[in-house]
């Protein structure tokens, strides 16, 4: 397709936003931006978070340590700073309205970054299921005693993300809810594909 078409995906940590976003990007040929990586990179850079956000480069998103539990906690802390969010706003909005379509996943895409998005999703799951997924990502089976710490971290991050004054995590009023607590990634992604296909303009819009 040509012209802008934006899919906004919001939700808490480990709910499945990225999996759905990647599936949509592959299915429809959209560009994909995991906006959480922006905040993870800023948090991992250290120093003054606002200065780090202003100096952020695309290559900073390739750091190998951005998927750790510690990077996620740092991201949540710097994301609560209005100066950081303002520094990254223009980049995200420009990406979202690029020709050919874009899918962005994060925590304030449908409410703040792209309130005009053609399709909005809010992806969620129980805290216990999300902690279990994150625990597995972190090699949990080799460290069974770490699950409770991961669960506590998930709950703390939820409270911080939902309670912050600037752009709190919440579903947009017109967001489509996808609860992945009891469904696998493939079925959740297919649900999203059907919703996007129904809105996408033009008979040949899909990439196949």
- The CATH number that applies at residue 82 is 3.40.50.300
Q: Is residue 134 included in any domain, yes or no?
A: yes
CB proximity list for 158: less than 8 A, separation 6 or greater = 12, 13, 127, 169
What would the pLDDT profile of 74-116 be if each residue is shown by its tens digit? Answer: 998 998 899 999 999 988 998 999 999 999 999 999 999 999 9
Q: Is residue 202 included in any domain, yes or no?
A: no
Confidence of residue 58 (pLDDT cuts 50, 70, 90): confident
79 is in an annotated binding site: no
2 is in an annotated binding site: no
19 is in an annotated binding site: yes
Q: Percentages helix, strand, coil for the chain, rounded to the nearest 5? A: 55, 10, 35
What would the pLDDT profile of 134-168 be if each residue is shown by its tens digit? Answer: 899 888 776 778 899 999 999 999 999 999 888 89
15 is in an annotated binding site: yes
SS3 179: strand
163 is in an annotated binding site: no
Q: What is the pTM of this model?
A: 0.85
User: Using CA atoms, how far apart are residues 38 and 42, in angstroms rounded to an integer?
Assistant: 6
17 is in an annotated binding site: yes
Kindly provide the b/e burial profile for residues 143-171, where b requires at least 16 CB atoms within 10 angstroms of the residue's own CB: eeeebeebbebbeebbebbeebeebebeb
Q: Is the separation of the CB atoms in 39 and 79 below 8 Å?
A: yes
Rg of the chain in Å (alpha carbons): 17
16 is in an annotated binding site: yes
Number of domains in the chain: 1
What is the pLDDT, as a whole number, of residue 92? 93
The domain in which residue 165 lies consists of 6-197
Residue 31's CB: how many other CB atoms inside 10 A?
14
CB proximity list for 76: less than 8 A, separation 6 or greater = 39, 157, 160, 161
Q: Is residue 206 included in any domain, yes or no?
A: no
What is the pLDDT, as a whole number, of residue 140? 75
Q: Is residue 189 included in any domain, yes or no?
A: yes
Percent of the chain with pLDDT over 90: 75
At residue 182, does pLDDT exceed 60? yes
What would the pLDDT profile of 5-18 be if each residue is shown by its tens digit? Answer: 999 999 998 999 99
What is the pLDDT, as a whole number, of residue 43? 94
Q: Is residue 42 included in any domain, yes or no?
A: yes
23 is in an annotated binding site: no
Q: Is residue 58 included in any domain, yes or no?
A: yes
Q: What is the mean pLDDT of residues 48-62?
A: 92
Supply the mean pLDDT for the chain.
Answer: 91
124 is in an annotated binding site: no
Residue 119: φ, ψ to 5°:
-135, 135
């Amino acid at each position: 397709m040509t012209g802008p078409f934006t899919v906004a995906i919001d939700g808490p940590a480990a709910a499945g936003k990225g999996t759905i976003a990647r599936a949509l990007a592959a299915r429809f040929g959209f560009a994909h931006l995991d906006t959480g990586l922006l905040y993870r990179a800023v948090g991992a850079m250290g120093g003054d978070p606002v200065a780090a956000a202003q100096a952020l480069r695309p290559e900073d998103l390739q750091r190998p340590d951005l998927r750790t539990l510690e990077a996620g906690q740092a991201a949540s802390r710097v994301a609560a700073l209005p100066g950081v969010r303002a520094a990254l706003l223009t980049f995200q909005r420009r990406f979202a309205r690029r020709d050919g379509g874009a899918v962005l996943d994060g925590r304030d895409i449908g409410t703040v970054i792209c309130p005009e998005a053609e399709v909005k999703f809010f992806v969620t799951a129980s805290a216990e299921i999300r902690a279990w997924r994150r625990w597995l990502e972190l090699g949990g089976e080799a460290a069974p005693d770490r699950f409770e710490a991961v669960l506590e971290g998930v709950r703390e991050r939820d409270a911080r993300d939902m309670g912050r004054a600037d752009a709190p995590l919440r579903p947009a009023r017109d967001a489509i809810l996808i609860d992945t607590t009891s469904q696998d990634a493939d079925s959740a992604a297919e649900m999203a594909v059907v919703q996007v296909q129904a809105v996408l303009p033009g008979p040949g819009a899909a990439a196949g």
